[in-house]
Structure 1
């Protein structure tokens, strides 16, 4: 992944998901990040089809 996600809490208490680049991202380059879902049950696994070399093949 070339990005990371954080939750930003504003003064009013509103939560926003912020995506931050870990490296310089070129024009046209896909933005990727780890969804960091909980482990869950084997039967609940969601397949990831992104095809990235570093992909775990699932989103949880």
Structure 2
């Protein structure tokens, strides 16, 4: 996986984690749900890229 994509996916995952934690702390369920979604999306992108890299080898 390219370094740029690794950083982008990791940042998306971290951003989602922060939103989720902020939503949980403030009791904002909508923000918490958005954060969970972004965190999952970033993780899935990382997994997808890792699979692509495995087939390139």
TM over 0.5: no
TM-score, scaled to structure 2: 0.26
Higher relative contact order structure (alpha carbons within 8 Å, sequence separation ≥ 6): 2
Select the structure of larger CA radius of gyration.
1
Larger relative helix fraction: 2
Larger relative strand fraction: 1
TM-score, scaled to structure 1: 0.26
